[in-house]
Amino acid sequence: MATTAPRPATRRAADDISYTDLYERWERGNWSATEIDFSQDKIDWNERMTDAQRRTAMWLFSLFFHGEDAVTDGLSPYIDAAPLEEQKYFIATQQVDEARHSVFFNRFMNEVVGVGDGSIAGGMNATAGQLSWGHKMIFQGLEDMCVALRADQSPHQFARAITLYHIIIEASLAQPGQHVIEHFLEEADLLPGFRSGISNVALDEQRHIAFGVKALADLYDADPKGTEQAVLDVIRENGVYVSGVAMPPNWDESYYDAFNASYDQLGRDGLRGLESKLLAIGINLHEVERSPLPVDLPFEERAARGRVLLESNLVGPDRPASRDPYATEVMFDSIARAADVHAVAPGTVIEWSFTDADPWQLSFDGGKCSAERGSMRKADLRLVISFDDWADLFAQRADARKLLLSRRLRPKGSLKLFAKFGKIFP
């Protein structure tokens, strides 16, 4: 990758990372998943851990195990697409790491928990029931991304692929989860074999994330605007799934209590990690137009918004959606934040005229889009629809064309504006 574009004026964290150093760190950090001694772990698992702790461990470790398997399988198109030899070599080392992580989790599942038959497929089958909706969606997305990268090795597609793998999956999902696991097991002095493995996994992941940051920073130097768009698009596309990955089964918070952690803590840490990695690349979410994350709000509130959308079924596979006023407000505020204000004339008003709930309006004024409950202004376009049908559309559980054909979605007013809907809310 040629780096002829001027570097950003302020020095970024990515400027301190070199591919040579990352490779050397890999050689120095080599470890063996097959030599870990699980004898004390077996005693801890059977005699010292509570049922609740075992249930949480089984759930969290299964999410990791399946994640490690998916990232092992998904890396080869990255090697082909990487423009620099040094990048290709590093990704090759990373693929070895991911396989080792998978072997480590499988060994623990088989030798300590006693599930599976020792083969990777056997271990995965035995733990597949633990996976959350968000986990399945994110890793299906990774599989699709790998197919896309095989077909298109352009820098733009490479940037998209690194964003999903290294920034979203590794930095914002896996790393905070590893910290929760490590912290709890250390404090409770449990599972020493597993602990030594997961601390090596965490060190490996640190290196993988650093590589992702460096690779994206290089792509950013060559094409700041295009790379920024690729990165932000992938975050926008996956935002609805990310909050669902570590959702405890049936929202049973005791899964987290057993490990002295909480879903909200994980959400906050994930969002913080994501924002800091983007900054390290050169992308300041506070300065971009149409940030995919509401960065003007404190981290607590950002995480709370992800939770409320998921809890009220405005995100996720389950229906019907709740009509909780705060959840509805967060939904419309999210729609307003995602809107492209340049796609419509200033002063435009779009109304959601719910057949069975209060109406909501979005107004485009002064280069901003804002949402308001009620029917305060004359709308240029009104969408007549039931609240449940709209919730299904928002959560991507329904197809707008089908709702239009069956007249369950009726646009009134400017049809020209309606035709531009996909442009306004890309």
Query: Which parts of this chain interact with Fe ion (CB under 5 A)?
Result: 68, 98, 101, 205, 208
Structure tokens at 13: 């964290």
Which H/E stretch holds residue 93?
A: helix 85-107
State in angstroms the smallest separation of the CB of 250 from Fe ion: 28
Nearer to Fe ion among residue 12 and residue 208 (C-beta)? 208
State in angstroms the smallest separation of the CB of 238 from Fe ion: 17
Nearer to Fe ion among residue 68 and residue 389 (C-beta)? 68
Q: Decide if 166 contacts 82 (C-beta within 8 A).
A: no
Q: Decide if 182 contacts 165 (C-beta within 8 A).
A: no
Nearer to Fe ion among residue 94 and residue 132 (C-beta)? 94
State in angstroms the smallest separation of the CB of 148 from Fe ion: 20
State in angstroms the smallest separation of the CB of 172 from Fe ion: 13
Q: Decide if 93 contacts 77 (C-beta within 8 A).
A: no
CA distance 349 to 358: 16
The phi and psi torsions of 212 (rounded to 5 degrees) equal -60, -40
Nearer to Fe ion among residue 62 and residue 363 (C-beta)? 62
Helix/strand/coil for 249: helix
Q: Decide if 159 contacts 227 (C-beta within 8 A).
A: yes
State in angstroms the smallest separation of the CB of 290 from Fe ion: 30
Structure tokens at 414: 């400017």
Nearer to Fe ion among residue 145 and residue 309 (C-beta)? 145
State in angstroms the smallest separation of the CB of 102 from Fe ion: 8
Residue 371: exposure state from Cβ atoms within 10 A (0-12, 13-18, ≥19): buried
Q: Decide if 1 contacts 227 (C-beta within 8 A).
A: no
Nearest C-alpha neighbor of 19 from the set 3, 34, 35, 7? 3
CA distance 203 to 184: 17
State in angstroms the smallest separation of the CB of 391 from Fe ion: 35
Residue 352 DSSP one-character state: E
Annotate 313-342 with b (16+ C-beta within 10 A) or e (fewer).
bbbbeeeebebeeebbbbbbbbbbbbbebe
**Cα atoms in the Cβ-side hemisphere of radius 13 Å centred on 165:** 35
Nearer to Fe ion among residue 101 and residue 160 (C-beta)? 101
The phi and psi torsions of 353 (rounded to 5 degrees) equal -90, 85
State in angstroms the smallest separation of the CB of 204 from Fe ion: 6
End-to-end Cα spacing for the chain: 30
Nearer to Fe ion among residue 160 and residue 208 (C-beta)? 208
State in angstroms the smallest separation of the CB of 269 from Fe ion: 17
CA Rg value for the chain: 23
Nearer to Fe ion among residue 29 and residue 413 (C-beta)? 29
Nearer to Fe ion among residue 205 and residue 221 (C-beta)? 205
CA distance 283 to 224: 9
CA distance 4 to 17: 18
Nearer to Fe ion among residue 142 and residue 315 (C-beta)? 142
Helix/strand/coil for 189: coil
State in angstroms the smallest separation of the CB of 208 from Fe ion: 4
